[in-house]
Structure 1
Amino acid sequence: METQVIELGYALDTFYFLIAGAFVMWMAAGFTMLEAGLVRSKSTVEILTKNIALFSIACVMYMVVGYNIMYSDGISSLIPGLSFFIGGDNSAADVVASGGDIYYSNMADFFFQVVFVATAMSIVSGVVAERMKLWAFLAFTVVLTGLIYPIQGYWSWGGGILSDLGYSDYAGSGIVHFTGAVAALAGVLLLGPRKGKFGPNGQVNALPGANLPLATLGTFILWLGWFGFNGGSELKVSDVGSANAVAQVFTNTNLAAAGGVIAAMITSRLAFGKVDLTMVLNGALAGLVAITADPASPSALLATLIGAIGGVIVVFSILGFEKIKIDDPVGALSVHGVAGIWGVLAVLLSNDEATLGGQLAGLALIGGFVFVASLVIWLILKAVMGLRISEEDEQEGVDSVECGMEAYPEFTNK
């Protein structure tokens, strides 16, 4: 009877892990719809192409090399040669012999982790939208998902230096979201703003997205997927304690997003005199990013407040990036970068085991390594193949230049 209970727990936790991973995979659709809605119509096909391509590349690169780096011995595991992930899994005897300490299939762990990698790369996609060469972006995807993300991930989740320093990041406000934003920042500094975004006298010109209903749908899809993102990071659900923890994580994740929406809505009304939908959508995402570093410890009220502070921060952060002439079409630097920093620090509000030194060390090491490594790769790509399309091609639109088709042909006057 005990053997059956252990095997049933293993099966339940594995199934939960896989479903959570599927929810996170669905976030790829959310990022795609959000970005497609916030770029101009002439850039829609290319953004759709980038998102499905980056997800596919991330899956293959993490299988070939990334997973081995992140959950083996870090980069040193590659010295003998590439070690492909082939899914050596647990036997029933091993599971029973562990007394239930083996929770889930190794293959399920790979599946859950690989969709996180794709999430980090999706952040980059929106920041560099509308003016980067498609193949330069895809080349960077290979490096970020295969090397940069797994190396810094190993430091925290693989048993490396940040885990020794006490850095606490439950589901990846820093490891996933901050990483994606910093990699994007390194690229966009070299890329420059879209043509017409900033005027000669320093004024900021609006370049409205083509489809706000699509952007709103993308936000709701991301909100839903985040339950898998944070909830799956509990790793198991087959005992009372874990089940209660998962329920707490789901509740706090939802309330943080709601707090972010309300706070961003009020802030935009006070700042602009009207409610800005794009700020509201980013408020939801900022709240989700902020709670991701620790959705298990806070009370429901504190989780709402953490999300609300993220919602306020994101509005002023977006305005701040525009003032220093950094063009981010979807606000991802603010949502995932600045709100990600806030999320890592907010852990200190409810987790007694976390320390300020550990959290700051995590941000410094992750941010410093990812920025420098990404900048080097972006510079190499710029020298070898160029990062930016020509002004003429940008005026025409990346859709026709890179993909040879339009997303809304019926509405185009030719």
Structure 2
Amino acid sequence: MMYFSTLLANDLAVPVEVSTALAENLFTTNNVWMMLCTALVFIMHLGFATVETGFGQAKNTVNILFKNTVTPVIGILSYAAVGFYLMYPGFETPGWFSFNTAGWNMFWFSPGSADVTAGYAAGGYTYWTDFLFQAMFAATAATIVSGAIAERVKLWAYLIFTLIFVGIVYPLIGSWQWGGGALKAMGFYDFAGSTLVHSVGGWAALAGVILVGPRIGKYVNGQTVNKPAVSVPLAVIGAFLLWLGWFGFNGGSVLSANPALVSLVLVTTCLGACAGAIGGLFTSYIAFKRLDLGMVLNGILAGLVGITAGADVITPGAAILIGFIAGILVVLSSIFLDKLKLDDVVGAVSVHLTCGVWGTLAVGIFSTNPDHTFLTQLTGAAICGATAFTSAFVIFYILKVTIGIRVSEEHERTGLDSHEHGIRGYTIVFDK
């Protein structure tokens, strides 16, 4: 915006009043774009809910929908309570731990002092837009965990985990990069969160899968038993909702309505998704000798996750290659997890962890910025992964030895809907 104002006032010699008015209009446009992107990221929660419900079993439909309804609620509230000020502490010198007490006091006790002018973020958005956009990202990280451990996790244990992970762990890790901390100083780069959102959520999901164990009857005599999906159409709807939301997820990460950069990011994002679908299609056909719709859907999501770290610093051609490799990796990762008897209902670990790490490393390979190196990307991904996995494992383990994290065998066999919620997601009543 400052460049735009200077151009108007100096190069075109327009009156200062006109320049100021146009600058304010540009600020408003930027902020509206960021709010639109916030709404698009919010709708991704409906995408997660429908994907998870579609791939789950009918007897657990209400339980899955309940978790996906309450997750963004807890995520946004916990981020407002403490997460936002952990994630953006304003490090005086880049480091690992800091807390923005001034921001906390302003948010809760003197909101009138919040900066809602063009000076807050170079004319990109206001303080309140900043919080809401970032809160949607935080809630997304928790939702990743939900799908992986569905159909056998205790609801209260999951909700407590979400509260702690979104309120403390996710924002702390995010502060190291997006908050100007040690990873940022190291030269690590993650444009929209292949590591900071997706692999962080994926590592947490892996910890949960390990500790909660596989569903009853999932692995029998060395064979993997596919549980019947309740609604393939719902899963397809969810995948397309997530694809739609990703235009806000990555497009909003430009942090303004910059036409050149936003359009490039949307193109690389879309191409990555398409290539991921193709990678998933052919790899699953080779592996399973069938046209596997589930792997095509996860291929789309894998391509989106893979492209997220470098969507603004890669060429469209590189986006296709990154997405295609992500589509291959998501299939191979799913097969590998089943070999290890790690039961992930929706493939969240393969989509978000495996392809999140790949996307982060891809920045060091394909970025048009020579400052982005493979070794730095690998180091940053390893630091974030170790922190996320260890933290999630400790939280889940404490919950396991205290209140327990798995429902009883009876409840799991007959379905969580009837026992925990008293209603079923699908009920057919015939008139007598």
For the aligned pair, the TM-score class normalised by the smaller chain equals over 0.9
Q: Post-superposition shift, 1:184? A: 1.1
CA contact (8 A) 1:70 1:158 kept: yes
CA contact (8 A) 2:116 2:127 kept: no
The more displaced of 342-351 and 213-222 is 342-351
Q: Aligned residue for 1:185?
A: 206
CA, structure 1 residues 127+245, in 2 after alignment: closer, same or farther (shift >3 Å)? Answer: same
Q: Give secondary structure in 1 for the equivalent of 2:233.
A: helix
Q: Aligned residue for 1:289?
A: 305
Q: Aligned residue for 1:227?
A: 247
Instruction: From 328, 331, 336, give the equivalent of 1:315.
Output: 331
- Do residues 344 (structure 1) and 360 (structure 2) align? yes
Q: Aligned residue for 1:76?
A: 98
Q: Aligned residue for 2:10?
A: none
Q: Aligned residue for 1:214?
A: 234
Q: Post-superposition shift, 1:80? A: 9.6
Displacement over 4 Å in runs of 4+: 78-84
- Do residues 375 (structure 1) and 393 (structure 2) align? yes
Structure 1 Cα separation of the partners of residues 351 and 394 of structure 2: 24
Q: Aligned residue for 2:115?
A: 90
Q: Post-superposition shift, 1:99? A: 11
Q: Aligned residue for 1:299?
A: 315
Question: After superposition, what is the alpha-carbon deviation per residue over 1:12-65, rounded to whole angstroms, capped at 9, x for unaligned?
Answer: 111111000100000000000000000000111101000110100001000010
- Do residues 33 (structure 1) and 41 (structure 2) align? no
CA contact (8 A) 1:65 1:84 kept: no
- Report the AA paired with residue 115 of structure 2: N
Q: Aligned residue for 2:280?
A: 264
CA contact (8 A) 1:291 1:303 kept: yes
Structure 2 Cα separation of the partners of residues 83 and 222 of structure 1: 35
Structure 1 Cα separation of the partners of residues 224 and 116 of structure 2: 60
- Report the AA paired with residue 208 of structure 2: G
Q: Which of 1 and 2 has greater Rg?
A: 2
Q: Aligned residue for 2:172?
A: 151
Q: Give secondary structure in 2 for the equivalent of 1:304.
A: helix
CA, structure 1 residues 373+407, in 2 after alignment: closer, same or farther (shift >3 Å)? Answer: same
Question: After superposition, what is the alpha-carbon deviation per residue over 1:224-259, rounded to whole angstroms, capped at 9, x for unaligned?
Answer: 00000000000111xxxx211100111111111011
Structure 2 Cα separation of the partners of residues 368 and 11 of structure 1: 40
The more displaced of 296-305 and 172-181 is 296-305
Q: Post-superposition shift, 1:89? A: 2.9
Question: After superposition, what is the alpha-carbon deviation per residue over 1:104-140, rounded to whole angstroms, capped at 9, x for unaligned?
Answer: 1110011110000111111000000000000100000
CA contact (8 A) 1:170 1:293 kept: yes
Structure 2 Cα separation of the partners of residues 329 and 294 of structure 1: 28
- Do residues 391 (structure 1) and 409 (structure 2) align? yes
Structure 2 Cα separation of the partners of residues 59 and 161 of structure 1: 26
- Unaligned 5+ segments in structure 2 are 1-17, 91-95
Q: How many residues align?
A: 403
CA contact (8 A) 2:85 2:101 kept: no
- Do residues 15 (structure 1) and 15 (structure 2) align? no
Q: Aligned residue for 2:375?
A: 357
CA, structure 1 residues 222+80, in 2 after alignment: closer, same or farther (shift >3 Å)? Answer: closer
Alpha carbon RMSD of aligned pairs, Å? Answer: 1.9
Structure 2 Cα separation of the partners of residues 137 and 91 of structure 1: 36
Question: After superposition, what is the alpha-carbon deviation per residue over 1:279-332, rounded to whole angstroms, capped at 9, x for unaligned?
Answer: 110000000000000112222222111111100110111000000000001000
Q: Aligned residue for 1:137?
A: 158
- Report the AA paired with residue 284 of structure 2: S
- Do residues 107 (structure 1) and 128 (structure 2) align? yes
Q: Give secondary structure in 2 for the equivalent of 1:297.
A: coil
Percent identity, aligned pairs only?
44
Q: Aligned residue for 2:225?
A: 205
- Report the AA paired with residue 391 of structure 1: E
Q: Post-superposition shift, 1:206? A: 1.0
CA, structure 1 residues 264+99, in 2 after alignment: closer, same or farther (shift >3 Å)? Answer: closer
Q: Aligned residue for 1:404?
A: 422
CA contact (8 A) 2:322 2:362 kept: yes
Question: After superposition, what is the alpha-carbon deviation per residue over 1:160-202, rounded to whole angstroms, capped at 9, x for unaligned?
Answer: 1100111100000000000001011111111100000001x21
- Report the AA paired with residue 164 of structure 2: V
- Unaligned 5+ segments in structure 1 are none
Q: Give secondary structure in 2 for the equivalent of 1:407.
A: coil
CA contact (8 A) 2:116 2:128 kept: no
Structure 1 Cα separation of the partners of residues 89 and 427 of structure 2: 49
- Do residues 175 (structure 1) and 184 (structure 2) align? no
CA, structure 1 residues 143+84, in 2 after alignment: closer, same or farther (shift >3 Å)? Answer: farther
Q: Post-superposition shift, 1:84? A: 6.8
- Report the AA paired with residue 374 of structure 2: L
Q: What TM-score comes out, normalization by structure 1 length?
A: 0.94
CA contact (8 A) 2:37 2:248 kept: yes
CA, structure 1 residues 373+258, in 2 after alignment: closer, same or farther (shift >3 Å)? Answer: same
Q: Aligned residue for 1:243?
A: 259
Instruction: From 152, 164, 172, give the equivalent of 2:185.
Output: 164
Q: Post-superposition shift, 1:375? A: 1.1
